[in-house]
Amino acid sequence: MTGPTLAVEELDDRVVVTLRRPEARNAINAAMVRELHDVCTVLEERPRLLLLTGDGGVFAAGADIGELRERGRDQALQGINSRLFDRLARLPMPTVAAVDGYALGGGAELAYSCDIRLASPAAVFGNPEPGLGILAAAGACWRLRDLVGASVAKQVLLAGRRLDADDALRCGLVAEVVPAGDLLKRAHALLDRMARSAPLALRLTKLVADAPGGHPVTDDLAQAILFESTDKQTRMDAFLAGDRP
């Protein structure tokens, strides 16, 4: 699946995607959007964990400004980036972004769409779109608020504040700050921990956690499915027999 803008490694329990446009600091262009949609198709057809990262000490320095400059109202209404990021956020299994260096503009919104983010000390998150006469319209205006709260989100979106790794950790945007050389190793360790859980339980937990508003009936229905699963019986039998994870 590797293409001009991505390196894609498919493993049994996960897919590792590396953004790779070194000449543009991994800026998200139309070709990358298409390739990421292809990744989504693969993960929807065969659900697995996803690890997203960037090549060359940069996650993604934004959307491709040259392409944005030529887009008009019709392209905005197509939601070129926002539809992709929504699709990524709705993938059946958990997603992790390993962020080294800049995650700005559309690159930040791509990271926000993942379930969990890890960062290197060099990570920087920001949404400078109003300085270019536009807004962060691919999820940052509401996703960032949900992640860090309205006050910090408005500092980023309205006042141009950039969150370095320590800021991001303090406000809960990232789960951990890890030396750059260990970032992918730590991300894989996180995925290993997830992979030890029952896949169906992970899928339904993510589905219920992301359900708008939440509702006890949703919890009950998801649990009813899991209570009848073979995986639940096998895992609980092992636990009761003393084989405890």
Residues acting as catalytic residues: 109, 129
Q: Distance between CA 168 and CA 117 in Å, rounded?
A: 10
Residues paired with residue 51 on neighbouring β-strands, in sequence order: 16, 96
Q: How far apart are CA 23 and CA 3, in angstroms?
A: 15
Q: Are 148 and 173 in contact (CB under 8 A)?
A: yes
Would you call 30 exposed, middle or buried from its count of C-beta atoms within 10 A (0-12, 13-18, 19+)?
A: middle
Sheet order of strands, 116-119 included: 6-10, 14-19, 49-54, 95-99, 116-119, 176-177
Sign, Cα dihedral of 26, 29, 33, 39:
negative
Task: Judge contact between 162 and 126, C-beta under 8 A.
Answer: yes
Kindly state the helix (H) or strand (E) to which residue 119 belongs, with its residue range: strand 116-119
